[in-house]
Structure 1
Amino acid sequence: MTSVGSSILTALNAGSGIDTSALVSSLVSATREPKQTAITSRQTLNSSRISALASAISSLDTFADALTEVLSGAAYTGTAASNDASIASVTLLSGGSPSGLPAQLTVDQLASARVYSSAATSGATGSTVIGTGSFTITNAAGEATTITLDSSNNTFAGLAAAINAGDTGVTARVVTDTQGTRLVFKGATGADNDFTISTSADDSSSILGGMSFTSSSTPQNAKITLDGVAYEYASNTIDDAIPYLRIDLNKASPGTTVTLSMSQPTAGLSDLLKEFVDAYNTLMKALNTATATGADSSSAGVLNGVAGVRDMKRQLASITSTQLSATGTYKTLSDIGVSTNRDGTLTLDTARLATAMETDPEGVTNMVNPKVSTTASPGLSALMDTVRDNIEKDDGPLKTAQKRYDAEAEEFTKQLEDLDEKMTNYQEHLTTIYAAMETRLSALKATQSYLEQQIEVWNNSNSN
């Protein structure tokens, strides 16, 4: 952009012969460069710190989240098992760890439901009209629900849909086979879920008027014996016989004992701890590089001297000595062979870990990965989450450092903008000064030329 001063110089045709534009540019550059270099140097360091802090936080988050995800898998929580799944199968329920396993189970009787079916109507389909009237379902408590059949629902399919839409505990379906079409009604399993059905037809000659029902199954409770104690349940799916364990009864087999158990993830847990140490050391080595001291500022780590990162390293280094379990022989990572080195990295004593896993596999598993995490017994995943949360809390040293560097980034941007404005004004000022000087020099040169002409005239006159 052409400045006001430069326009003046151009108008005056730079009569002095001096390149004032280049002179002004040189003076402005000489003033700008040391100031700009100082700001951009600090700006570059600040940007590097912002990037390094963001990378450190991201790495910590990735590490903690990955640990939580891995430990939640069946390979590290243990697996519920039945030695005869054809009789009874088991699955873990969330929220806790089954207790009292292994357990001995006998399935003496399966739970069943009342089932009624109507006689088949030859040649009929689901859309065949069965007639108008009413259909009544009465449960074991004597509570009756009546469905009115009219032109909107007086087909096999219409009656079934009306029953299924009601809150009776009874389901209905239309079945068509080679014999014809019939209605099948089924209640919930359990002795207390019996029901009866009756019809009232407006026309006794209609299908509804001649409809009869046959029961093919009676309701009864499931009967099991668990560790010698007899129990009854209305369903074949049992969630509360053993805490946090679902038992699905698949077949009655009186006299046959099924063993329910939990496998401990000993091999998987050993491999996990090795991977944990390796991943942790990758994170800590990166922090050590970022905070390294050097002979001068050019060789020091970009986060050297940042209090928030020192606090981060300190909290991470305390993991091996922090209690993971309030009970048992093994309470900390150091108890099973994980120790902290002077530089904050970890070392795993595989022989000591193998001894601990062989001596008390369940104790080590529960310490590292408890089914229920508590304040006293958090386990490794919850501890890492707590450490991560403490490191990243809004009023903590790390976040405070981030906020300070973000504020400095804005300040450096503003300083460069202010410098640009000042240098523009300075250039305009210098240009105005040199434009005025150029004007005076031009006037002097004009006077000089006039005098020289006059002197030459005088000299010529005198010589004549």
Structure 2
Amino acid sequence: MAGLGIDGLASGLDSTSIITSLMNIEAKPQAALKTQLAKVTSFSSDLQALNTAVAAIATAATASAKSGALAGYAASSSSTTVTASAASTASPGEVSFTVGQLAKTQVNVGDAMSVWPDSPPVLTLVGADGTKTQINPASTSMADVTSAINAANAGVTATRVSAGTDGSGNALYRIQLRADESGAAGAFTAYRGDEGAVTAGTAVAFGAVVTAAQDAQITLWPGSSAQQVVTSSTNTFDDLMTGVDVTVTAVDTVNAVTVAVKPTTTNATTTTASMMASLTALFSGIATKTATTTAPNSSGGTSVTGGSFTGDQAVRQLKDAMLSAATAPVDGVSPSTIGITITRDGTITFDSAKLATALENDRVGTEAMLQSISGRIATAATSASDKSTGYLTTKITGQESAQKTLNEQISSWDLRLATRKSNLEKQYAALETSLSTLKSQSDYLASQLAGLQTSYTS
């Protein structure tokens, strides 16, 4: 109103302050909606975080509930020059072998040259499978030849190596060709000449073989009638035993190496510890969001404020379901016998040493019990967090719908309040105008009366 230049002009009223006060009263319903929106938004955000954590637990529990998922095996080697690693698909056993040779990658090196000796420059690479790749460099420059070989993607990498100068002071280079793949599969032959010359047998071989392509080779059960040679293009023999990879680093044709695979409890213990840690974090987060706080109020007493999850049925249902899944007996046996214990405050503790002992005493039975618990946890977590049917997911959808409705109502109030303020401003402007008119009329009448009195007394 002050901006219109009529604030209290005739009435002496602070119209702007009056309108502001009236609008504050008018806006109370909208303020209540905004407060409600803030609570709904915070609750929805907390639910989404909770749902994400539960979904992660569901994924992990589903994986560990699968048959054999908790089984673990460790591979050992009798030699420091041989290493072995076992996957969950491995099984107990051992195998002995000698190492006949290591894998090698072919390397060829050409003569020292200042430029490629043929013009136009042409060379052909022939792979181990007989595939021919003709290469036509842009010029006889050794740099162009090197670049052309690398651009051909023929399974060979070229490197230009400085080799001094010739008698005329020209820089000399040698081209080194190295196979991209180790082992016999990476073998190649390089020729000066096109594919036709190679086929006709008239092409000139390029470069000397510095390192010949070679597969790694081991002999299983050496010295017996069952001995067998096994090769690999690398020094790693994948799946030499089921689920076991073996890597060799030195040749030894005399002393046999033994690789043994034995069961280990590490996988079950580690997986279970991770699962219990996730559940503990979940229960802790729920407890934090459920806790109430006490603070002094304006009347001299205290006010108790609940957390965002306080009294929420879905969250309570989740906690009860997850806690029961983790701690309820399996075939009449309490999970506390393997280190999973429920506490007084409604959470769990996990004793990894107790689980390790149980696995040592009865690995099969303990793993079966852990899988049953994982299956129950997976079911409970999925029931809550499933993208389509989870009750937490459904509740989040409801909260998002409530947010949308509240935002629409708040926006509607924005329009309503703007209209109300505009009407108040018009009313007070009209009041000031009316009062100003009345004041003008009053002043006029007063002057007329004064004139009459002066005339009468004269």
Pairwise TM-score range, normalised by the shorter structure: 0.5 to 0.7
The answer on whether the counterparts of 1:110 and 1:251 sit within 8 Å (CA) in structure 2 is yes
The answer on whether the counterparts of 1:338 and 1:349 sit within 8 Å (CA) in structure 2 is yes
1:23-422 matches, cutoff 5 A: 23-33=18-28, 35-57=29-51, 59-60=53-54, 79-86=74-81, 88-92=82-86, 96-101=88-93, 103-107=94-98, 109-110=100-101, 125=112, 222-225=218-221, 229-235=226-232, 237-249=236-248, 250-254=250-254, 256=256, 258-262=258-262, 264-266=264-266, 270=269, 273=272, 277-291=276-290, 298-320=304-326, 336-341=338-343, 344-348=346-350, 352-361=354-363, 364=366, 387=381, 391-422=385-416
The structure-2 alpha-carbon separation of the partners of 1:408 and 1:366, relative to structure 1 and needing over 3 Å to count, comes to same
Unaligned stretches of 5+ residues in structure 1: 70-75, 369-376
Provide the C-alpha distance between the structure 2 equivalents of 1:207 and 1:130, rounded to a whole number of angstroms: 13
Deviation at 1:22, TM superposition (A): 4.0
Provide the C-alpha distance between the structure 2 equivalents of 1:259 and 1:245, rounded to a whole number of angstroms: 9
Provide the C-alpha distance between the structure 2 equivalents of 1:461 and 1:195, rounded to a whole number of angstroms: 133
Deviation at 1:60, TM superposition (A): 4.8
Provide the C-alpha distance between the structure 2 equivalents of 1:19 and 1:150, rounded to a whole number of angstroms: 90
Aligned partner of 2:287: which letter? N
Provide the C-alpha distance between the structure 2 equivalents of 1:173 and 1:457, rounded to a whole number of angstroms: 118
Aligned partner of 2:221: which letter? T
The structure-2 alpha-carbon separation of the partners of 1:418 and 1:207, relative to structure 1 and needing over 3 Å to count, comes to closer
The answer on whether the counterparts of 2:290 and 2:310 sit within 8 Å (CA) in structure 1 is yes
Provide the C-alpha distance between the structure 1 equivalents of 2:208 and 2:438, rounded to a whole number of angstroms: 131
Provide the C-alpha distance between the structure 2 equivalents of 1:138 and 1:9, rounded to a whole number of angstroms: 95
Provide the C-alpha distance between the structure 2 equivalents of 1:433 and 1:366, rounded to a whole number of angstroms: 81
The structure-2 alpha-carbon separation of the partners of 1:22 and 1:334, relative to structure 1 and needing over 3 Å to count, comes to same
Aligned partner of 1:289: which letter? T
Deviation at 1:436, TM superposition (A): 4.1
Deviation at 1:14, TM superposition (A): 1.2
Aligned partner of 1:28: which letter? M
Provide the C-alpha distance between the structure 1 equivalents of 2:345 and 2:438, rounded to a whole number of angstroms: 77
The answer on whether the counterparts of 2:327 and 2:340 sit within 8 Å (CA) in structure 1 is no
Provide the C-alpha distance between the structure 2 equivalents of 1:457 and 1:128, rounded to a whole number of angstroms: 123
TM score, norm. by length of structure 1: 0.60
- Cα-Cα RMSD: 6.4
SS in 1 for 2:261: strand
The answer on whether the counterparts of 2:182 and 2:214 sit within 8 Å (CA) in structure 1 is no
Aligned partner of 1:300: which letter? G
When structure 1 is superposed on structure 2, of 444-453 and 402-411 the one drifting more is 444-453
The structure-2 alpha-carbon separation of the partners of 1:147 and 1:441, relative to structure 1 and needing over 3 Å to count, comes to closer
The answer on whether the counterparts of 2:19 and 2:421 sit within 8 Å (CA) in structure 1 is yes
Unaligned stretches of 5+ residues in structure 2: 64-70, 164-173, 295-301
Deviation at 1:343, TM superposition (A): 5.5
SS in 1 for 2:305: coil
Deviation at 1:147, TM superposition (A): 8.8
Q: Count residues in correspondence.
A: 415
After superposition, give the CA deviation of every residue in 1:279-309 in whole Å (9 maximum; x if it has no partner). 5323202213324589999522212344543
What is the aligned-residue identity percentage? 21
